[in-house]
C-alpha cells in the first residue's frame, strides 16, 4: 500500500479545517459552516468525467499501517503481528539500515533490495554494512529473509479492518462515500472511475454491502481472471422475457487497483486455444498465503514495477481517464509521494485545460495546532495561504495548497479526513442546493473563478444556461 497521506490521530475540532482554492483560503470549515465546500463537491460530481483516486490515508481509521517515521521496535512489531519472528540478526540489520530509529519502510525495503541485487550481480555470499571499524557482514540469505518478513508484514497489516479496530461499523464511511458518489450524479453522466493504490479490500467489501455492481477488470465467477477488456463493458437492466434493454443499471462504478491487491496472484498458464504460455493474474481468498502476491511494494523500484503487467495497463487507464475534457479528479488520502502517479496527474493539469483537482488530506499542509490557529482567524478568508504567516509543512500537498492554479483545491484539517469528507458529500436523499446549472455557475463566481473552461465545475454551455 503506497500513496500514503500524512499521519492521523492528531487532535483538533471534529470537522474543522480550511478550504483553499488556487492558493487562496476560500472558507473556514467548521461543524456548523460547511456550505461552500459541500457546494463545491456537489458541482464536481456533475462533471462529465469523474475520477477518484484513493490512497492509504483513506483507510487510516481502519488501522492502515504507517510506512514512515517508524522505529525499529515498531517494524519488529509489524513482523511479529503477521506471525513472523524477529531474530538478533534482523535487529542488527535494522539498526544499521535505520540508525536514527525513524525508519521509512520504503527506504528500508529499498536498502535490502539493493543489497540483495548487488550481491546477486557480484556473486557475493556476504554483504557488508557500516562504517570502517564498525562494519558488519551479513549472509545474503539473512537479507532476503528480512525483506520477505517486512513484505509479508506489510501485506498482513493491510487486511482491514485491523484486529484492534473498535469501530462498531468500520465500513460506514466507505459505504457513505461510495453511495453518495454514485447516487448524487445525474443518471445520464458516465460512471465514476475509482482508482486506488491500496492493497486492502475495503472498497470491494463496501460495494458488496451496498449491493452495488462494479467492473474491476476480472472475468469469470469461480475462476476470476484479470481481463482488462472487461473495462469496456457496462451493466444494463433488461426486460426478462424479451431480453430487451430497459435502461442502464444504477449505482455501478469502474474500479481499478493500480498497485495490485491482497487477493491477486500471478501464474504462468497455457492459453486454452493456442497452447502458448501467458502470464495470468487471478483472484484468491483474502485469507490465503501471500506467496505469489501481485503487489507493488513501497520501494524506489516501484516506478519500474509499473512498467510490467498488469500495472502498465492499469496506469494507462488512469492516464486516459484524466486526459478527457470536462474532468474532475478527487484524491482522498493520497499524499502525492508517488512520482509515477504524479507524472500522470500533473501532466493532465499541463495538457488538459478542462480539468479540476480536489485534494483532501488532514495534516499534510500543516499540523493540527497550526490548523486550529488558522481556523480561529476570520481574517484569513480571502488571504493567500502562503502569506498568512502560518507554519506550513514541506510536503507535496502543501505545495499544491499554496500554488496559484485556480483549478486545484485543497481541503485540509480534520475536514480533510476521509470519514469527514464522506459526510460532506451531497446526500441525494435530502436534495442538494446546487442541483441547477445556474446554481453551479453561482458557486464558481462566489469562489472568484471564471467558469470559461469546459472543465471548470459548473461551466455550462450557453445553450444550457438558465
- pLDDT (tens digit per residue) in 20-29: 999 999 999 9
Instruction: Give the integer Cα–Cα distance in Å for 253 and 196.
Output: 13
Task: Supply the DSSP string of 361-384, one letter for each residue.
Answer: -SSSSS-HHHHHHHHT-GGGTTSB
Between these two residues, 377 and 108, which has the higher pLDDT value?
377
**What single-letter DSSP state applies at residue 252?**
-
> Which of 32-41, 113-122, 201-210, 405-414 is predicted with the least confidence, judged by mean pLDDT?
113-122
Task: Please state, rounded to an integer, the average pLDDT across all residues of the chain.
Answer: 84
Helix (H) or strand (E) holding 413: strand 408-413
CATH code for 17-64+170-214+227-259+294-464?
3.40.50.1220
Instruction: Give the integer Cα–Cα distance in Å for 49 and 45.
Output: 9
State phi, psi for 434 to the nearest 5 degrees.
Answer: -115, 35
CB proximity list for 228: less than 8 A, separation 6 or greater: 217, 310, 313, 314, 317
Q: What global pTM score does this model have?
A: 0.83
- pLDDT (tens digit per residue) in 396-424: 999 999 999 999 999 999 999 999 999 99
Residue 130's pLDDT is: 75
Task: Supply the DSSP string of 140-206, one letter for each residue.
Answer: HHHHHHHHHHHHHHHHHHTSSS-TT---SSTTHHHHHHHHHHHHSS-TTSPPPEEEE---S-HHHHH
Residue 458's pLDDT is: 42
Q: What are the extents of the domains in the chain?
A: 17-64+170-214+227-259+294-464, 72-157
Arithmetic mean of pLDDT, 57-74? 86
Confidence of residue 292 (pLDDT cuts 50, 70, 90): low
Arithmetic mean of pLDDT, 266-280? 79
Amino acid at each position: 500500500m503506497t500513496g500514503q497521506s500524512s499521519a492521523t490521530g492528531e487532535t483538533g475540532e471534529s470537522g474543522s479545517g480550511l478550504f483553499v482554492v488556487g492558493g487562496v483560503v476560500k472558507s473556514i470549515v467548521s461543524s456548523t459552516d460547511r456550505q461552500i465546500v459541500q457546494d463545491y463537491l456537489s458541482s464536481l460530481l456533475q462533471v462529465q468525467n469523474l475520477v477518484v483516486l484513493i490512497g492509504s490515508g483513506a483507510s487510516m481509521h481502519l488501522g492502515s499501517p504507517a510506512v514512515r517515521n517508524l522505529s525499529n521496535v515498531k517494524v519488529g512489531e509489524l513482523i511479529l503481528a503477521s506471525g513472523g519472528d524477529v531474530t538478533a540478526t534482523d535487529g542488527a540489520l535494522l539498526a544499521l539500515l535505520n540508525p536514527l530509529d525513524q525508519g521509512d519502510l520504503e527506504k528500508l525495503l529499498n536498502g535490502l533490495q539493493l543489497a540483495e541485487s548487488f550481491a546477486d550481480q557480484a556473486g557475493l555470499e556476504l554483504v557488508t554494512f557500516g562504517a570502517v571499524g564498525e562494519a558488519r557482514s551479513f549472509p545474503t540469505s539473512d537479507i532476503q529473509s528480512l525483506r520477505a518478513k517486512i513484505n509479508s508484514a506489510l501485506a498482513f497489516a493491510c487486511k482491514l479492518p485491523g484486529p484492534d479496530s473498535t469501530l462498531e461499523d468500520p465500513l460506514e464511511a466507505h459505504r457513505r462515500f461510495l453511495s453518495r458518489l454514485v447516487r448524487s450524479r445525474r443518471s445520464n453522466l458516465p460512471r465514476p472511475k475509482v482508482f486506488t493504490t491500496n492493497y486492502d479490500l475495503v472498497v470491494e467489501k463496501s460495494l458488496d454491502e451496498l449491493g452495488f455492481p462494479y467492473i474491476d477488470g476480472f472475468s469469470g465467477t469461480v475462476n476470476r481472471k484479470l481481463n482488462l477488456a472487461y473495462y469496456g463493458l457496462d451493466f444494463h437492466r433488461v426486460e426478462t422475457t424479451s431480453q430487451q434493454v430497459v435502461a442502464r443499471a444504477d449505482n455501478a462504478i469502474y474500479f481499478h487497483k493500480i498497485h495490485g491487491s491482497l487477493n491477486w496472484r500471478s501464474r504462468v498458464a497455457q492459453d486454452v486455444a493456442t497452447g502458448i504460455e501467458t502470464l495470468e493474474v487471478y483472484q484468491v481468498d483474502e485469507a490465503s498465503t501471500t506467496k505469489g502476491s501481485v503487489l507493488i511494494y513501497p520501494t524506489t523500484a516501484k516506478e519500474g514495477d509499473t512498467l510490467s503487467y498488469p500495472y502498465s495497463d492499469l496506469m494507462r487507464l488512469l492516464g486516459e481517464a484524466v486526459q478527457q475534457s470536462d474532468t474532475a479528479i478527487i484524491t482522498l488520502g493520497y499524499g502525492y509521494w508517488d512520482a509515477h502517479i504524479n507524472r500522470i496527474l500533473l501532466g493532465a493539469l499541463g495538457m488538459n485545460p478542462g480539468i479540476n483537482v480536489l485534494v483532501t488530506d488532514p495534516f499534510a499542509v500543516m499540523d493540527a495546532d497550526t490548523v486550529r490557529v488558522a481556523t480561529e482567524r476570520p481574517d484569513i478568508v480571502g488571504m493567500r495561504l502562503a502569506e498568512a504567516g502560518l507554519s506550513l509543512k514541506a510536503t507535496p500537498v502543501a505545495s499544491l495548497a499554496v500554488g496559484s492554479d485556480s483549478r486545484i483545491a485543497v481541503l485540509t484539517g480534520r475536514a480533510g479526513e476521509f470519514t469527514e469528507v464522506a459526510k460532506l458529500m451531497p446526500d441525494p436523499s435530502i436534495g442538494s442546493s446546487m442541483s441547477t446549472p445556474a446554481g453551479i455557475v453561482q458557486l464558481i463566481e462566489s469562489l472568484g473563478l471564471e467558469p470559461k473552461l469546459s472543465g471548470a465545475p459548473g461551466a455550462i454551455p450557453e445553450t444550457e444556461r438558465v
